[in-house]
Every structure is written in structure tokens, then in C-alpha cells.
Chain A
């Protein structure tokens, strides 16, 4: 039961930290390709 409660709390916390519509940030590097990749 203890383990279950901890998991539930973590899941709840995760919901609070990530508002609706949350989009993960793209990796900071490398940047976008402007022309084409060779």
C-alpha cells in the first residue's frame, strides 16, 4: 500500500508540474537544418 500511494502521489505531482498542452522542449543542439543534410 505504501508503494502504491507513492506512485499515485508522483503521478499527481507530474500532472501539476505539466499543465495542459505541455510540449517538451526540443533538444538544444544541434540546431535546425537551413538547407539540407549531407
Chain B
């Protein structure tokens, strides 16, 4: 007896949302660069029956970049989506899933990401800083200066750059370059690195040895540099903050 065709799903049906949650977790789990993405909208869903209790689900998803670096231990549910004014980045994904006896798993996914157009940002927010290319000279200069500055002052391990996550440049009312970058702890202290930086090797690939930095360089009207770095495995709880909330909510977004 041929299987009855599966009931069509709407994009906001609980089954579609359950499949989308599995898909987003899979997509973030497969990525090793940039930031975690969160679901913004289910664009389309199609279900094809493969037999009793066996369906193939095709999803089209619209995702938005969050502020959580991909290496961050913060659960996606606690990650803040970047606002439109921060020059949002969108991800478009096609995902193929299987639902077998009620268990959903991802078979394949394909994603493209792109930043919102600069024209849109400027039209709605003329003074908002725009995303710059990650190999922009001013971005590279700011990352280098920020990391050097942090390493020159820290009493912790010497940090090496893993990747630049974001760079934004604002020209008015001041010339400001804001950067975000991922770092890895090395087997050297910052003091030891001053003697022979070439001998400093990244510690084993473990989440506790990764971290994240934010830096801003003001060029005009006067020169100023601010940087803050937080290693995910080296977060010190403050007396007025419960341990767990400090561990899972790194303060890498703070400025100092």
C-alpha cells in the first residue's frame, strides 16, 4: 500500500521550527570561522515522504549573524543578534534533513552569507560605521596595534591572532576603526615572548585556549587605542556574579 503523502507543513509549524533548530545547530557546528548564526525566518519548507515515519524535509532558512564568535562557549540561545545599525550580516541556507521515526538529522546544507548593503545602512543611519574588508589596511593596523598593546600589559599568556572577525570604520564625527578578532593562548607568558616570540607556540586546540578581543582605534580628533581580550578558559568570576553566568557569558564585548 503506498504511503499517504505527508501533510504539508507551514513555515511556522512546530515541526518546521524543530527542523530549523536542528539545521541551525548543525550549520554552526560545521563552521570554524566568524560568528554563530541565529534563525531569522523560515523562508520555505517542503516535505517528501520516503515511507512510513520516514520523510525528507527541505528547508530554506534566513539567518542573522550574532555577536558570539563561533569558538565561544556561549549557547546560541544566549547570543545577541547584531543590530541593523551594526551592519548586519545575513545567511541564506538550503538544508536537506531526514525525519526518521520522529528523529531529525541533517543530510546536507549549503549556505551563503552577505552583509547588508552599505546604501541601506547609510539611508537609515547616516553616521553608522560600515563593515570594512578584513584585509583593509586600517583594520589590519588596528588589530596589530590592539593585540600588541594587550600583550604588552597582560600578566597572562601571550596571545596570538587566530582570525579577524570584523572591522568597521567610521569617519564622522570622528575617525574610528573598531575591530574584533579571535586569539589563541600560547605556551609563553607575555614576558617570555619579549625574549623570543618565535618560540611561543599555540596551546592545543581546546576551547579554553581560545579567546576573543575587541579593539578601537581613534585617529581623529586625537589618537587613542582601547583593547579588551577574554580567554574563554580564563574567566574570573566576580563576587557579585554567579559562577555559571560568568563562565557562559564571556565579557569579550566589554570595552576597557
Contact = CB atoms under 8 A, between A and B. Distances in A.
Interface of A: 26, 28-38
Contacts of B10: 28-29, 31
Interface of B: 8-13, 16, 38-45, 62, 64, 81, 83-84, 88, 90, 116, 120
A32 B120 contact: no
Contacts of A28: 8-13
20 contacts: A28-B13, A29-B43, A29-B44, A30-B11, A30-B41, A30-B42, A30-B43, A31-B11, A31-B12, A31-B16, A31-B42, A31-B43, A32-B11, A33-B40, A34-B40, A35-B38, A35-B40, A35-B64, A38-B90, A38-B116
Contacts of A35: 38, 40, 64, 81
B120 A38 contact: yes
Name the prevailing secondary structure of the A interface residues: loop
A29 B125 CA distance: 31
A38 to B, nearest CB: 5
Contacts of B41: 30-34, 37
A30 to B, nearest CB: 5
Nearest to B13: A28
B40 A29 contact: no
Given A29-B45, A30-B42, A33-B40, A38 B8 contact: no
Nearest to B44: A29
Contact of B42 (A26, A29, A36): A29
B189 to A, nearest CB: 42
Contacts of A37: 40-41
Contacts of A30: 11, 41-44, 62
Contacts of B83: 36
Nearest to A36: B84
Contacts of B116: 38
